[in-house]
Structures are given as C-alpha cells and as structure tokens.
Amino acid sequence: MAAYGLYTHIASNKFRSMLLLAGLFLLIYVLVYAGALLAEVLINSDASVSYYLRAASRDLMTAFPYATIIAALWIVIAYFFHQNMIDAVTGGEDVTRQQQPRLYNLLENLCISRGIPMPKLKVMDSPALNAFAAGLNRRQYSVTVTTGLLKTLNDQEIEAVLGHELTHIRNGDVQLMVVAVIIAGVVGFFGELFFRMFTNLSWNSSGGGWSSGSSSRSSSSSSDSDSKGSGGGGAIVVVIIAIALIVLAWLLSQVVKLALSRSRELLADAGSVELTKNPDAMISALRKIENRGELPGATSAVMELCFDNPREGFADLFATHPSVDSRVKALVQFAGGHDTGPLALPQETDNVTDDEPEDQAEPRSTDRLPPPVPHGPWSDANAPAGSPPPVPKRGPFGPLQGPFGGPWGRRR
C-alpha cells in the first residue's frame, strides 16, 4: 500500500498494524503447539519425531477452542480494567479544570480546534518528564501527564506534547498498542508456563525417558529398570523444537510491538505539528524530555505507551521509540523546524558552586537556552540554531522597506 502524504501514511500504517496484530494472535497457537509437544514427550518418551509432531497437531486441534477462549477472556478483562491497572502502576489521578486550569485549557483548546472529543485528563506525581495516552474506546480515552513535565515545559511545549498524544488517539494508535500489549502478555504467560513445565522435567540418562522433577528417586529408578534401553532420541529432538518455538514466539511478539510503536511515533510528531502549527515547540519539548522520561516502578508495557521511552534495551535492539535525534531530524527536514540541540534544565545547572572559577563553571541555564526562533514572514529560515532573532533591516523608508512606514501606512 503506497503512501504519499501524512494521511496515506496513517492509513498504510493502520493496515500494516492490523496484519501484525493478526500475526501476534497466531503466536498464541504456536505456543500451544509447543506445549503439546512437551506434553506428548512427558506421556511417551520412546516415540519417534514424526509421531510427536502428529500427536501434537491433534492436541492443537483439540485445544484450539480452549486457547481461543482463554485469550479472549484475557482481552475482555484487560479491555475493562486496563486503565485501572495503569493507574495502579503509575499513580495517575483524574483532574478537573479547577485543579489544573492551565493544562485543562490547553487540552480543551486542541480538542475544540479539531472537533476531537475531550479525553480524561490525568496527572501523576513524578519528577520525570513524560506523558502517555491510553484507552480502547471514546469513553476510556485518557491523557496522563507528569508533574515534572508541567513544571519544566512552557505552554507551547506542553501543547505540542498534548497534540502528540491526541494524534495517537485520532490515528487509533492507542487501541492497537493496548491490544498488542495485551496479546503479547498472553504470549509471555503461555511461554513462561511451558518453560516452567520444561524446567520441572528431568532426563533419565540410563533409561532414556523424561520424569517430573518432583518425582522420587525410587520411582525414577524403577521406571528406569522397566524401560527399554534404546529410544529417547526423538524426545530430545522434539524438546529442542518446542523450546525453539517458545523462544521464537516470544521474540516475534517483541518485534511486533516494536514495529507498531516505532513507526507511529514519527506520525504522532507530525500530527502534533499539524494541530499546533509549531514545529519548534515540538523540537524544544523533545530536547527537554530527552533522557529524562524514566518513570520509576513503571512496567515496560507502560513505558511503551509514553511520549519518550529512554529504555533502549540491548544495543538499541528492543527500543520501542525512535531516538530523539531522528525525531528532531524528521521535524527539521519535513516540518521546517529549527533544532536547538540538547538542552540543560535549570535544576541541572543550579548545583554549580560559587567557589568555582568563573571560567570553569558550567554556564547557567539562561545562557544555554537560546531565545525562541521567531515565526512569520520576517524570520530567517537559514539562520544557524541558537542565533538571536534577526532584526528587521532598515532602509531609507523605515523597517518595512517600503515608501510607507508606521502602523497606519503614514510617511515618516
């Protein structure tokens, strides 16, 4: 599905996401099949590989409706209670206009400007700089913002962050991400269940069979004496296949979540710029939030929903969000924004001691934070990042370079 603009990119992304979710749901049955292989080995440890594969296929067909019911029940529970689970982890609380007039008015103005239903507004007490949206339907949609974000960002930057989260809601990203987290949780649950089942088994090297780790040595020795001396090679191969399927299913579930999340963050940034018409505010917000969004005690599932996730994983392989540099680069290239570079916050520079030599002391935040880049027809788009606002050139007829100066067009 070819994409040529913002809205076609959104439609194409939704189509690919639905395919990925379907594949994620199929991983549940892969895990059930792996569990059936382990069960057949436990029941009969002297059969051939082909026998185990055929028997596990029959077991899969028998367990298919039960696995579907369990997965559907898991999704239904998460559908109604996922917000309560998130609030229990993050400590987010509903706020009203009277409690947070500044934040409430910024969110309401964005919703009114695009005819978007007003989601619930939540604030969590945390010094981290982050925000996230959640919900599976119009009545459940919510936007949660940290107190650290409110204290650090100005109104335009907060508006950009809120526009980012509203775009996730408009594009249907929130529903897909929540469902992906739920299904990935089912995959992880089944995977851990079967892995624990395997770790409770032990191989009887003398008899060539599998027994439960909780079995007594006397029963194990008696079964060894009654078993055939040959056989068991097929059981070892099948157990290896089952373990490989469990590991593969878990890895694929993580890769699917990454594909859903990474591709949507750039579109959400673009949607925020479309709402606010202010790419510089989004860039400034990204630079201030960069590496300051870690929510203590939050699970990886919650961090995947956030505006920024500083948890990069092993060699950036399991990072759920694009890097801030790549997001800023896209805004500069496609939205005409200006990158100010990494920013130091005031609380990070206030710890400079007075007895340090002035030439060795770190510059104060007022020196590091450049003035806002001007907007409008008189701004210089080619000015370097951090340069002061350009002063309108004066000509023989005044600053507007025309024969009529002054606000009313009178000659000077």
Instruction: Tell me how many helices (H) and strands (E) the chain has.
Output: 13, 6
CB 260 within 8 A of CB 20: yes
**What's the CA gap between 223 and 209, in Å, rounded?**
9
What are the respective helix, strand and coil percentages of the chain, to the nearest 5?
55, 5, 35
DSSP bridge pairs for 212: 201
**Closest to 191 in 3D by CA, of 54, 66, 18, 29:** 29
Residue matched to tokens 């007022």: 366
CA distance 29 to 192: 15
Tell the residue number behind the tokens 């770190």, with chain if given.
362
What are the residue numbers of the active site?
Answer: 165
Please report where in the chains the tokens 């069960």 appear, as a residue: 39
Residue 389, token pair as written in the block: 């606002």
How is residue 317 written in tokens? 């392989």
Total Cβ atoms within 10 A of residue 281: 24
Q: What are phi and psi of 130, to 5 degrees?
A: -165, 170
SS3 of residue 50 by DSSP: helix
